Structures are given as C-alpha cells and as structure tokens.
Amino acid sequence: MEQAHDIAKSLYNLSGTLRELPSERDQNFHLIGTDGHENILKIAAASEKRETLEMQNSAMRHLTGVNANLQSPVVRKSINGLDIEITTSNDGSTHFVRLVSYLPGTVFAKVNPHSSELLVDYGRFVGSISKGLVGFDHSAAHREFYWDIQQASSVIRKYKDLISDEEKKTLVDHFLGLFETYVLPRQDDLALSVIHGDANDYNVIVNHPHNDESRTFGILDFGDMVYSYTINELAVAIAYAILDKPDPIDVAQKIVSGYHEISPLTETELDILFPLACTRLAMSVAIAAWQQQLEPDNEYLSISQKPAWKALALLREIHPRFASYCFRAAVGLEPCADSSAVVKWIKRNSRNFGSPIGTALDSKNSIIIDVSVGSVDVVSPHHLADHQAFGDLVTEKLKDAGVNIGIGRYNEARLIYTGDQYLAHEDESRTVHLAIDLFVESGTPILSVHDGIVHSFRDNALPFDNGPTIVIERKTTPEGPSFYILYSHMTRDSLDGLYAGKPVKKGEQIGKVGEYPDNGGWPPHLHFQLIVDMMDEEGDLYGVAPVSKRDVWLSICPDPNLILRIPNSLFPNPNMTRDEILSLRSEHIGRPLGVSYKKPLTIVRGFMQYLYDENGRRYLDIRNNVPHVGHSNPRIVKALNQQAAVLNTNTRYLHEKLVRYAKRLTAKLPNNLSVCFFVNSGSEANELALRLAKTHTKRKDIIAIDGAYHGNTSELVNISSYKHDGPGGEGAPLHVHVVAMPDTYRGEHRGPDAGKKYAEDVLRATQSSEGIAAFIFEPLMGCGGQIIFPEGYLKEAFKHVRKAGGVCIADEVQVGFGRMGNKFWGFETQGVVPDIVTMGKPIGNGHPIGAVATTQEIANSFATGMEFFSTTGGNTVSCAVGIAVLDEIENEHLQQNAEKVGAYLLNRLKELMKTHAIIGDVRGRGLFIGVELVRNRETLEPAKEETKYIVERLRDLGLLISLDGPLHNVLKIKPPLVFTEENADRFIEALDLVLHEDPAVTSPWS
Ligand SMILES: Cc1ncc(COP(=O)(O)O)c(C=O)c1O
C-alpha cells in the first residue's frame, strides 16, 4: 500500500486515500485524490506483457463514446506523458503501471433486484461492447488465453481432475461434452473478433440501475481481451448473470433479446450460446480448483464458485436445444426451427391421417370439456384433483350433450396439475396443456394415426403422471425432419411386446385407453400430443408447459388438431386477451374506474384467500376484506344458489328469511340497535344513515373525520375528505365539518391524552355549527391509512356530539363482522355504543348487501309517511347469503382466527421493523393492519415511491396488497378472515425479500 502511495505520487503527482480492490491477477487501487478526483491505479502482474496493456488502453479509447449506455475508463497520462509506466518493486521485479479513471456505480452483482428491464438493458450494453469492438484489432489479442471459451477443451481437461468431488467432476464432464458436441463442429460458422471477454457481474457497473430512463452501464477490467468468437462476449455475460436465479433461461432470454437489438445474432450463434455460457461456468469452476490449490487464502477466487456450482446443477437439466429454442423466441424467430416445416408437411398431408380412436370427431359425437382455470364447470381449484369428481364431470357433460367423446383442449391453462412434477422451477408451475385429450371409455382401442416406428415407450408411474405412454415417430420426407405422436394414459399391457424401431401401420392398434389408477390416476382418456423434437427424451415428454415458456413449447408441440381435424365450430370462442379487455374497458367503461397494478391482472377464479389469473397463477389475497369468509366460499355459494333457484324477490311479501336475518344481525349488536334497513351497498347504507340522522334531529350539519371515505353518492363525497379534498374534489360544503384525523403516529397529539385532545376538535365543530345532525366515523380508518384511534377518542367525541343534540353513526363497512379479532365490531374497541351502525362489503361476502341498524326511536322518527323502499335491498337471496356469512363466521371461528393470525402477523411485522428502517410504524387490530413506510424515522418523510414499488413487486411475487393513506405510504392489510399463519409467513418472507431490494432501501426516487 505504501508503495502504491509512492507510485501515485511519483508517477502521477497524486496523493489521497487508497483502497485495494479485489483482482485475479493484477493489483488495483481505488485512489481518491486530495482534490476529490477518483482514479484506479493499476499495477500489472510481473508476467504481464506491455503489448497486452497497450491493447487494453487502445480498446478503452476505442469504446469511449461508442454508445451513451456504455462507459469505459479513460486512460490517464503520467507526469512523463506516458500511458504506461514502469516501477520496480521491493523484490526487484518490474511492473507496468497505469492510471485510469474511476467509474462510479454499483457492480452488477450487487444490484438488487435484476428486473426484466434491467436484464434487457444489460443485453443491450453487452451488445454495444460487441458492436463497439467491431473493426478493432490488436496483435496482443491473438493469444492463447485460459479464460477464452475457445480453449475450453484443453483448459477443462487440464484442471478438472483437481476437483475432488466426483459428482461435481461428472457435472463438468457433461458440459465439456456439450461444448465438444454442439460448439466445436460449428466453430467455422462463427464470427470472430476481439472481445472484452469479461463482462462478469463484478466487472460491470451500473448507474441508476432501477430507472429505466437513465440507467447506464460501465465496463471495468480489460485484462481478459482476446480474439475469439464474437458471441463469447454474450456467453460470458450470461454465464454470470444467471447465477442465483431460479430460472436461468428466463434471465438469459432477456439478455439475449437486448443484445440482439444492438448486435444481431445469427441462428448458429443462438444454437450454441447455451453450451458456451455453460462451458464458461464449467471453466470457471475448473480454473478455480487450480487457483485455489495455488492460493488457498485468495478470497476473490472463490467469490463465484458456490453459485456457479448451483447454476451448473440447474443447467444440467436443460436440453441445449430447448435453450436455443428459448433464445430464438427471444429474438422473434420461430422457437423450434423444424416446427414450421413439420406443420406445413402435416397440413399438406392432413387427409392421410387416421383417427386415433377410429372415429372422426365432430359435433355429433363430441363436445369440449372445459377445464380451463376459469371454467364454470370446475367448482374449485381442487375439484378435478379427485379423479372421481373429474370423471363424474366428464360423464355428466357427455350425458347432457348425448355424445360419447369429450375433448380436452390444446393450449388450455389448467389448475389440475398439482403433483410436484409440475413445478417448472421454484417459482412457477406448469399449467398449459400441450395436447388434445380424448375422453372415451377405458379399453377403447388406440390406433396409430400414420405409418411409423415405435420411437420409445415408458410407464410413468408417479401419481397424476402420464401412466403408460408410447411415442411413434414419423419422417416427413427422407431429408426432412421427423415428428412424433405421444399417446399417453394407456393400459399397462399396451406396452407388452414393444421395442424401439418396431414398425406400425396407419390404423394399427397400438394399445388401449387405460383405467384409473394404472393410467396415471385420471379418468380414462387419451392424451394425444404432436411433438417436433423429443429433445433426447424417451417414452414421454412434458405434456404441460409453464406459461413463461408457452410460445417455445407450443412451437415444439404444435396443435395436434392439424391431425385430428376437429371442426372449429366445436370450440368455444377463445377468451379475450388482457389487451382486448383493456381496450373494451376504455371504450365502454367509465374512465374514472382505475385498474390495479402497472401490469394489470386478469383474474378468473377465486377460492378462499386466493385468486387465480387466466394462466393458473395463484395470488395470495392480502387486501380484500369483501370476500370476508373466503372468495367463492362453497357454503356461501351453495346458500346463494339454493335460494336463487327457489325465490328471489323484494321485501313487500312476507318471507321468514328477512326477519330471521334481521334478528341474527341485531343479535350481534348492542340491545338498543334493534331495527334494520336493508339496501345494496355501503354507500346506500351511509346515505340512508344520514337521512335517518337528519330526519331524527331535524338538523343538517355533519361532522366527519379528515381522510375518511364513506361512499360514492353526492352527499357521501361531500362528507368524505378522501374524495372532496383529493384530485377532482371541490372541498367540503358549508354544512360539513371536517375534524382532525386522530393519528397518533404523525398527527398533532401523540401522548396518553391524545384521544381527549383529538375529541376537542369534535367539540369545536359542534360549537361552530348551527345544528349538528350527526358525527359519522369509521371506527378504525381504512382509506385514511389504517388508523387506530387513541383510547377514549370516541367516548369523548360522542359526549360532545350528543350534548350538541347530534347522533353518532359508526360506519362498519370496512371493519365489522369479526375482523377486529377480540371484538365483532370496530366501535366496540372504543367501548362506545353508536346510535346508527352501517354495514356493507363483508356482510355479503361479495354479494351486494348493505344494512343500517338503529334504535327504535330513530327508526320511528323516520316514519314520516314517506315510504322507504329499496327494490333489491333485503331480497330473499341477499338474506340467505347474509345468514350464511354469519353462520360461516361462527362455525369456522373466523373471529377467533382473526385474533390469532392477526396477532401473529402484527408481531412478525414488528420484528421486521428491526431490520428495515423504512418501516416507521406497524399498527392494527385483528386482521386489519397498517404498515407505514417512511424514509426517515425522525422526520417521518413518507416513502411514497417505495410503497408503490413494494406493492408492485409483491404482485410480481404472487401477493396482492394495497396502499393507502393521505400520503400514499401505508401498506393496507385486510385479507379474508380465512387467512392462516402460513399465509402470514409467506407474506413476511416476501415482504422481507422486497424490503432488501435497492428501491425499497436506497430511495433512488429522492
Ligand atoms: C368505510 C367505507 N364506507 C363506505 C364505503 C362504500 O361502500 P360501497 O363501495 O359498497 O358503496 C366504503 C367503500 O370503500 C368504505 O370503505
């Protein structure tokens, strides 16, 4: 270090602080000069040749200014005017010395997370290096260099035996095999150029990594420059960018797409990119084994080894052709190159195929069995996991239609694939069906649809697997590609006497439709899959694909209806795409209705605390308090269906359901609140409550709390400052008195007498009014930011209001019905009894119900002679649903669950406060919790952008939560009451992960 100081001073006349940087071969120092300028002092290894350094310098110059997105260090001259200086070290050896500018930023490896946009941009940056170096050459680049992937065979062979673990050695051998099989034979087709050769994740720096508009990249050390395959630049970048990623191909695809935009890739390059990237990692672990032997204490050497081994194990499972198909898809090519030729051939010969069950399929003998995610025939996500129920559904459908063949669709996303074998990787399941199913009787003979040979066969005995399967191969033309038909779910004896290569004739019986459980555990059916590339699999291939690779799999497995020729008229219209729905919404739905999330979700199914999108992805619902006892809770659905099938009419006829329901509901309330009015929404309930209050008191003025929301009618907007003080609002009218929000976190009063102090504002409002009709409040405020009132607030406020002759209205639309845990109603947590209580949202679990409960006295005042009637309020179905919701809360002990799980979640969130400074406050009762996010716990500066980021990221991770509060910085937690501790753990784990990400930590927004 001392010597480095001396060198900086004597050769560059620089002094300041020096910090040694990790490096494989050289010694590099970050020098912050006394004048604040930052540079890197580079002292080359004694063995380094001057020529190599000259090359690096000229490459740096060459790349400067090539692209705004690409920064390269600038070479500084010494006091002697030289780019390269020489120094002699204490041991007498001479070293070349250079000074280059310091590039500020974060190393790519430390950027968290690597978003899709970042990865695409990273690809563009690597593409810019490739493009920038086109036309650059230097004699020093033409060297044999052990990091050059071209040298993989000799380098890996030389070092792999230093890897002591046999399993790991086999892994390295596998990738050496890939290199020699896939790359070497095609090397003459590869473009060559000088490459930087080391765009690894610690050698690339990023500025503004999370801002898609201003992100830039810089490349550091140029020590690995070599004349090699141009594509190796990209291969190296991919090799390191995929480390620690659950889906390496997904990451690589994004980088490839960005790279291709700047530096177009050839089909050959796309074909061998995967083996090259894997080979680079295999070289890295082999070289590390050697280096570690030489320098057991060098920390830098081991930096990437653990993740590299983990990645290699994952990559081992991916077929190189599959990877190349994914890369082709990323640049807009047909993923499976042979697919179009096969499809064309089949189309041309379509009349020559037979039927696999001996009958042509048409509307006289067949119907579609819809088992898509949102199918109305499928009653729950688990319905079809029971083969009997699945079988019953098919039988019933066939019987109803008077046909004997059920058709299961190709390219249909389904929820029926539940076994572990359907996990594509730790974050994604396979859901998209790649075949056509023919539901027919077990024992039905299966006939080959064409002449061919048995390619392979297998008995897939895992539960919910494919059972006995046979693959028949068919060549298109002597020179053209083959294609394959996979026949699955057969009887076990279908495999008897088979051998690979056995010829089969069109129409020849190759087996029979199997029965449960031998057929893999399904109702009897034939799974008929057309395959263009078996990718070295035998006897079976994935029959279901993950949505993220849908386009690739649909290309490998084209639509088998090319062969079956089921008439189009049999298929229902395809579901609308997200864009179609969005476009129709903008045309036909009122504009002020917003859509959640930057990437809106299409939700087609709900079940208890989960929602499912059209592709079968499951989301944990942490935000929706309307499906109080669970989305599509079967008992509520049953009550609704049963009553709807018998009677649904208005309240002018006598029916016991109405009075039973009113009795049940009022039994939950304090004794004096014994009279009900039924309407259809929370807004209607509040509107009616205001009328009751005004009629009873014969006054007009209303006191409401700042930040509150009570509904969407004109008068409710008048009293809801959340609306009238927000965008498009016109402020409160004169008869509305808005009092301070009793917020003990950031409000004016915070001590033990905060409740009393805030209530004084209510007192002031009564004093400034001509006559108060009502004080309306949410007992815990939702839109206001999950505000919990200080003790005594409502008691004091009630005192003031009643003294002034007004009545007190508790709006329980958000918080009632057991959500509080230890109390059934929100107002009970403050020990008060209101004069009017309004209800909505959870009361009907999503069925539109609103209710107002009040005293006999107030109800009597309302009997002025003018009738009150709500056509569908309190209708028979609503009453049946309302009663079922109350039953469900009681029978399933959901109030107790809210108390238990709520307390657990609150504690876990409070624990998170210890590690995440952004969490300013955690507050809540039962399953009504708020997490307020701040940039500074002293100033309470709201972390608005961070909160938005967190909500969007949680959505990406499969968790739905919303944000609210006047400063838009409160995470709002109010899940269905069936939420479990396991759900809470999942949420905490995801939140913890996201809170560690840069945009939630470093406030790049400020
Ligand atoms: C506290 C409160 N009251 C009333 C309403 C209005 O209910 P609805 O949307 O059912 O009319 C809402 C809706 O968000 C609410 O949060």
- The tens digit of pLDDT for each residue in 777-833 reads 999 999 999 999 999 999 999 999 999 999 999 999 999 999 999 999 999 999 999
Find the 277 Cα to ligand 1 centroid distance in Å: 55
Which of 710, 786, 837 has most ligand 1 atoms within 8 Å of its beta carbon, as the pocket-test mutant? 710
Q: Is the CB of 816 under 6 A from ligand 1?
A: no
Q: Which atom of ligand 1 is nearest to the CA of 841?
A: 10
Instruction: Tell me: pLDDT of 299 over 90.
Output: no
The per-residue pLDDT for 696 is 98
| Distance (Å) from CA 677 to ligand 1 centroid | 17
pLDDT at 422: 75
| Confidence class for position 1006, pLDDT limits 50, 70, 90 | very low
Name the residue of 678, 683, 723, 838 whose CB sits within 8 Å of the most ligand 1 atoms, as the mutation to test its pocket.
683
Pocket residue to mutate for ligand 1, from 719, 811, 813, most atoms within 8 A of Cβ: 813
Q: Atom of ligand 1 at shortest distance to CA of 711?
A: 6
Q: Is the pLDDT of residue 419 over 70?
A: no
Is the CB of 681 within 6 Å of ligand 1?
yes
Q: Are 141 and 267 in contact (CB under 8 A)?
A: no
Integer CA distances (angstroms), 200 to 76, 282, 564, 855, 918, in order: 24, 14, 50, 73, 32
Residue 418's pLDDT is: 67
Ligand 1 pocket check: which of 679, 680, 841, 847 to mutate, most ligand atoms within 8 Å of Cβ? 841
pLDDT at 544: 95
- Dist. CA 83 → ligand 1 center (Å): 71
The whole-number average pLDDT for the span 950-973 is 97
Q: Would the CB of 439 count as within 6 Å of ligand 1?
A: no
Q: Could you tell me the distance, in angstroms and rounded to a whole number, from the CA of residue 412 to the centre of ligand 1?
A: 37
For ligand 1, say whether the CB of 814 is within 6 Å of any of its atoms: yes
- Please state the separation of Cα 80 from the chain's center in Å: 57
Q: Is 826 in the pocket of ligand 1 (CB under 6 A)?
A: no
Q: In the structure, what pLDDT confidence band is assigned to residue 123 with cuts at 50, 70 and 90?
A: very high
Enter the pTM of the model: 0.95
Residue 386 pLDDT exceeds 90: no
Percent of the chain at pLDDT > 90 equals: 91
On whether the CB atoms of residues 921 and 931 are closer than 8 A, the answer is yes
- Category of 785 on φ-ψ map: left (φ > 0), alpha (ψ -120 to 50) or beta: left
784 lines ligand 1 (CB under 6 A): no
CB of 778 sitting under 6 A from ligand 1: yes
Please tell me the distance between residue 724's alpha carbon and the centre of ligand 1 in angstroms: 15
User: Quick one: which atom of ligand 1 is closest to the CA of 681?
Assistant: 10
Q: Which atom of ligand 1 is nearest to the CA of 783?
A: 16
- Over the chain, what is the mean pLDDT? 95
pLDDT at 1004: 53
Q: What is the pLDDT of residues 747-762, one digit of tens each?
A: 999 999 999 999 999 9
Q: What is the mean pLDDT of residues 86-107?
A: 92
Residue nearest (by alpha carbon) to ligand 1 atom 4: 710
Q: How many CB atoms lie within 10 A of CB 73?
A: 24
| 356 contact partners, CB below 8 Å, separation of at least 6 | 438, 446, 447, 448, 449, 487, 526, 528, 564
Q: Is 723 in the pocket of ligand 1 (CB under 6 A)?
A: no
> Rounded to the nearest 10 degrees, how much is the dihedral formed by the CA atoms of 843, 844, 846, 850?
-70
Percent of the chain surpassing pLDDT 70: 99
In contact, 301 and 322? CB cutoff 8 Å: no
pLDDT surpasses 60 at 1005: no
Chain centroid to CA 974: 20
Cα 968 to averaged position of ligand 1 atoms, centre (Å): 19
pLDDT, tens digit, 9 for 90 and up, residues 612-670: 999 999 999 999 999 999 999 999 999 999 999 999 999 999 999 999 999 999 999 99
Strand partners, 525: none
Instruction: Single out the residue of 135, 124, 69, 951 nearest to residue 597, CA to CA.
Output: 951
How remote is the CA of residue 813 from the centroid of ligand 1, in Å?
6
Cβ proximity of 895 and 887 under 8 Å = no
**Rounded-to-integer distance, Cα 947 and Cα 931, Å:** 10
Position 298 pLDDT exceeds 80: no
Q: How far is the CA of 685 from the centre of ligand 1 (A)?
A: 9
CA distances from 873 to 97, 648, 676, 723, 866 (A): 85, 11, 11, 26, 17
* Model confidence pLDDT, tens digit, residues 185-205: 999 999 999 999 999 999 999
Q: Locate 139 and state its tokens.
A: 């004699």
Residue nearest to atom 2 of ligand 1 (CA): 710
| pLDDT band at residue 231 using 50, 70 and 90 as cut-offs | very high
Q: How many angstroms separate the CA atoms of 244 and 283, rounded?
A: 18
Give the mean pLDDT of 946-959: 97
838: CA distance to ligand 1 center in Å?
10
Q: Does any ligand 1 atom lie closer than 6 A to the CB of residue 150?
A: no
967 alpha carbon to ligand 1 midpoint, in Å?
A: 20
103 contacts: CB under 8 Å, gap ≥ 6: 71, 73, 205, 218, 220
Ligand 1 pocket, residue 709 CB under 6 Å: yes
Q: How far, in Å, from the CA of 932 to the mean position of ligand 1? A: 22
pLDDT tens-digit readout, 38-83: 999 999 988 889 999 999 999 999 998 777 778 999 999 999 999 9
Q: Name the CA radius of gyration of the chain, rounded.
A: 35
Ligand 1 midpoint to CA 784 (Å): 13
Instruction: Give backbone dihedrals phi and psi of 861, rounded to 5 degrees, phi first.
Output: -60, -30
So what's the pLDDT on residue 26?
85
- Examine the pLDDT at 451 and tell me if it is beyond 60: yes
Q: Determine the distance separating the centroid of ligand 1 and the alpha carbon of 709, expressed in angstroms.
A: 7
Question: What is the spatial distance between Cα 904 and Cα 824, in angstroms, rounded to a whole number?
Answer: 19
Q: How far is the CA of 686 from the centre of ligand 1 (A)?
A: 8
Residue 621: CB within 6 Å of ligand 1?
Answer: no
